[in-house]
Structure 1
Amino acid sequence: MNRNLFITLLIVFNIAIDQTTKVMVRADIKLGEIIELVGDKFILTNVYNKGAFLGMGSEMNPTLRLIFLLILPTIVLIYVTYYIIKTKELDRLSLIAFCCIVGGGIANVFDRIVYGKVTDFFFIDLGGIFKTGIFNVADISVTTGMIMLLYSGIFNNKKNVKTSDS
């Protein structure tokens, strides 16, 4: 498959999955409603987040929120998209990771442009072991992409060290 087509399809897939789930949540779950999927361990809800990750920045004045949650992320997403299209040396895992990050980022920026806030709806609480804030599919895409990039960086570093030691 053509590399640029692959990049485009992966970014669009991430955006489409996120936006589809948000449309379903906004249509089927009342604001603030809690639906227990697995007891109180995995919950669906419907909340709006004017801020970024875990609501950070939601208390900023509107001008700062516009700059830090809309304009700067848009510039970064444009740059990262340009980077992954132009940098042909990226390994496949890094390319997929960047596409997930860009797709998730675009999906949340889209929400901020269209709705002025982001729809979040997943919550996980595994007792004292693991507990999240309320998040969405775009957040999963960005987080997964970051984890993949870290893995790719560590894996590629180990491979480069072995090659230089030989």
Structure 2
Amino acid sequence: MKTVAITAAVIFVLDQLTKWWIVHMMGLDTKGIIEVWPPFLEFRMAWNYGINFGLFSGQADMTRWVLIAVALGIVLFVLVWLRRDPPGLWGKISGGVLIGGALGNVVDRLLYGAVADFLNMSCCGIDNPYAFNVADIAIFVGAAGLVLFSDDGGKGPRTSRKKRA
């Protein structure tokens, strides 16, 4: 579980530092858009009161607390799953990445009432209207990693499990 905790802490700090630096230090919250490498990468301020793509953002205050509870429930579920059926190293890292991202967005909802999204990427004549953040990337990558690496890491049969006759 040490690997999970360290990975989660690194992702959480990375997420919060990027949000603090870009939103507050670079002034994205007042500028709205900062062109980094147009049109491929822009910092575009978006306060997300719902879930992905702003879904369920109608009842902002109620939604905020429900989404905080759901995120904490997912974190608890992943922790229990990793403890009961420990995967190999990549599975633990994936779990930590997901947990760190989820907690990063929980802190945003607690501090601001919404998640601070700022990364916007477009390509090939398609203008992407949506923004995301490091935590969103971590949640996606962590969930995918848990699917791919949720086995025992090739360690073979577990000695702690008893076979029933």
Alignment TM-score, normalising by the size of structure 2: 0.79
**Structure 1 alignment gaps of length 5 or more:** 160-166
Q: Does 1:71 align with 2:64?
A: no
Q: Matches of 1:127 and 1:80 in 2, distance apart?
A: 37
SS of match in other structure, 2:28: coil
Q: Does 1:50 align with 2:49?
A: yes
Q: Does 1:100 align with 2:91?
A: no
SS of match in other structure, 1:43: strand
Specify the alignment match of 2:118 in structure 1: 121
SS of match in other structure, 1:149: helix
- CA pair 100-132 structure 1, distance change in 2 beyond 3 A: farther
Q: Which amino acid is 2:146 matched to?
A: L
**Structure 2 alignment gaps of length 5 or more:** 155-165
SS of match in other structure, 2:46: strand
Q: Contact 2:94 / 2:141 at 8 angstroms: preserved in 1?
A: yes
Q: Matches of 2:46 and 2:63 in 1, distance apart?
A: 22
- CA pair 41-61 structure 1, distance change in 2 beyond 3 A: closer
Alignment TM-score, normalising by the size of structure 1: 0.79
Q: Contact 1:33 / 1:45 at 8 angstroms: preserved in 2?
A: yes
Q: Which amino acid is 1:42 matched to?
A: L
Q: Over the residues paired in the alignment, what is the CA RMSD in angstroms?
A: 2.3
For this pair of structures, how many residues does the alignment match? 150
- How far has the Cα of 1:93 moved from its partner? 1.7
Report the identity percentage.
Answer: 24
